[in-house]
């Protein structure tokens, strides 16, 4: 190994770079695991009362991405996490409708509610099944 590197300083730099790379890989793996766990926790059917009618939104994981869809529509919309807000997401459907979604936990720590904000309207749904 000494023949490969011209001096010990180069060896130190290479070792530091490799160490940083390995640490970052481990952090990304942990983040992916945490994200998968959170998405699995969110996944389920949520019931919303809108103008006297019941609407159900279904949240699920597809290829590692949290997705949402209405129970009466086939369009699957990806939810993008909001930076710095663990339970907040944004989504835009194919018609350009923008949604802000915030999930919340109950006293026991389980995710049981979802607040959807769109076009100035807010509606809260309750998780009805996983």
Query: Residue 40 — pLDDT band, cuts 50, 70, 90?
Result: very high
- 130 vs 46: CA distance, rounded Å: 9
| Residue ranges covered by each domain of the chain | 43-129
CATH number for 43-129 (one of 2.40.128.50, 3.40.50.620, 3.30.70.260, 3.90.550.10): it is: 2.40.128.50
* Mean model confidence pLDDT for the chain: 81
DSSP string, 15-80: HHHHHHHHHHHHHHHHHHHHHHHHHHHH-EEEEEEETTEEEEEEEEEETTEEEEEETT----EEPE
pLDDT-above-90 percentage for the chain: 66
Q: What pTM value is reported for the model?
A: 0.74
How confident is the model over 2-18, as pLDDT tens digits? Answer: 444 454 444 444 443 34
Q: Over the Cα atoms of the chain, what is R_g?
A: 21
Tally of CA atoms within 13 A in the half-sphere of 17 that contains its CB: 6
How confident is the model over 69-102, as pLDDT tens digits? Answer: 998 888 999 999 999 998 999 999 999 999 999 9
pLDDT at 28: 37
pLDDT at 32: 65
- 116 vs 63: CA distance, rounded Å: 23
- Label residue 123 exposed, middle or buried (CB < 10 Å: 0-12, 13-18, 19+): middle
Those residues whose C-beta lies under 8 Å from the C-beta of residue 44, and which sit 6 or more positions away, are: 58, 59, 127, 128, 129, 130
Looking at per-residue pLDDT, the higher value among 6 and 108 belongs to: 108
Tokens of 113: 């509610």
């Amino acid at each position: 190994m000494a023949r490969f590197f011209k001096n010990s300083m180069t060896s130190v730099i290479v070792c530091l770079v490799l160490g940083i790379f390995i640490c970052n890989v481990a952090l990304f793996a942990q983040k992916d695991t945490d994200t998968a766990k959170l998405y699995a926790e969110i996944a389920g059917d949520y019931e919303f009362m809108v103008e006297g009618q019941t609407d159900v939104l279904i949240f699920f994981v597809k290829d590692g991405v949290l997705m949402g869809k209405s129970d009466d529509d086939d369009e699957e919309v990806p939810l993008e996490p909001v930076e710095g807000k663990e339970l907040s997401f944004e989504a835009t459907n194919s018609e350009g409708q923008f949604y802000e979604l915030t999930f919340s936990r109950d006293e026991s720590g389980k995710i049981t509610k979802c607040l959807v904000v769109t076009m100035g309207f807010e509606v809260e749904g309750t998780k009805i099944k996983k």
